Amino acid sequence: MTAATPSPPMIKAEAVNKYFGDLHVLKDINLEVPSGQVVVVLGPSGSGKSTLCRAINRLEPINSGAIAIDGTPLPAEGKALAALRADVGMVFQQFNLFAHKTIVENVTLAPQKVRKVSSAEARKTAMELLDRVGITDQADKYPAQLSGGQQQRVAIARALAMRPKVMLFDEPTSALDPEMVQEVLDTMTGLAKDGMTMLVVTHEMGFARKAAHRVVFMSDGEIVEDSTPNDFFTNPRSDRAKDFLGKILTH
Ligand SMILES: Nc1ncnc2c1ncn2[C@@H]1O[C@H](COP(=O)(O)OP(=O)(O)OP(=O)(O)O)[C@@H](O)[C@H]1O
Ligand SMILES: [Mg+2]
């Protein structure tokens, strides 16, 4: 009997090392994320969470190791990199919308420029995505006219407009007023339910418990634990994870 060829992991990081000068910020990182899985990355400040996201998107070069998206190794530079990077959507703490462009223009810009989509097609897709994140009525406004939560949902729609295979979120709700956090988390939960592969750095433990398939805990540039949310929260194995959870859960 021959087994079906398994599909490659959507994200694969193998023995990844990254230095900033003498500072070793990613230490032999091995991580595989299968298609459709939601992984929450937790860890103290400075543990390397953002650097890991940026390395996966090649915003940061790595010193050794390999990263592949959907079975294709990330090239170092050039057109192939631009194409592959378009497969990886990224949402940051700061939304970085173009202030002088309307909401719908913010969402149509990259598909037209990078994916060479027609303006009519780009607008149609943008309106569908704005509907998905619940803000079609804001389409012709400018970013400054929207709340922080609405702007972050535009940033998610903008990333989705490139039809990424993977979405990376780096503390997407950390800059928001508390009453706007849930609407962004709900949007992300919807995306997860639709089967998007997601790597999410967040301090929102409710999201980690409910939406994540897996929790990866980083400390000092290393992956120290990699388990189910339930295992991680109820039975952390390392002292570093216990210490981290003690601090955030009593906070
Ligand atoms: N561009 C840079 N140049 C030099 N050092 C950097 C740079 N970016 C990050 N670092 C250092 O690398 C380490 C990892 O930083 P990183 O931003 O990945 O941590 P983090 O886990 O995302 O932290 P936080 O929770 O505060 O966002 C830290 O010691 C940080 O000071
Ligand atoms: Mg960070």
The stretch 145-174 carries a mean pLDDT of: 96
Taking the whole predicted model, whether its pTM rises above 0.85 is answered as: yes
In whole numbers, what is the pLDDT of the chain averaged over residues?
Answer: 93
* Domains present along the chain, CATH in parentheses: 11-249 (3.40.50.300)
| pLDDT confidence band for 2 (50 / 70 / 90) | low
State the angle between helix axes of 119-132 and 148-160 in degrees (0 to 180), rounded to the nearest 10.
130
Nearest ligand to the CA atom of 44? 1
In this predicted model, what pLDDT tens digit does every residue of 97-125 receive, in sequence order?
Answer: 999 999 999 999 999 988 889 999 999 99
> Residue 141, class by beta-carbon neighbours within 10 Å (0-12 exposed, 13-18 middle, 19+ buried)?
middle
The helix or strand, by DSSP H or E, that contains position 28, with its residue range, turns out to be strand 23-33
The stretch 81-108 carries a mean pLDDT of: 91
Instruction: Please state, in angstroms and rounded to a whole number, the distance separating the CA atoms of residues 141 and 202.
Output: 29
For residues 50 and 170, the answer to whether their CB atoms sit within 8 Å is yes
**Ligand 1 atom 30: the closest Cα is on which residue?**
46
**Ligand 1 atom 24: the closest Cα is on which residue?**
45
Using DSSP's 3-state secondary structure scheme, residue 226 falls into strand
Instruction: Please state, in angstroms and rounded to a whole number, the distance separating the CA atoms of residues 139 and 12.
Output: 36
**Ligand 1 geometric centre to CA of 42 (Å):** 14
Query: Quick one: pLDDT at residue 98?
Result: 96
In this predicted model, what pLDDT tens digit does every residue of 121-146 receive, in sequence order?
Answer: 999 999 999 999 999 999 999 999 99
Nearest ligand to the CA atom of 244? 1
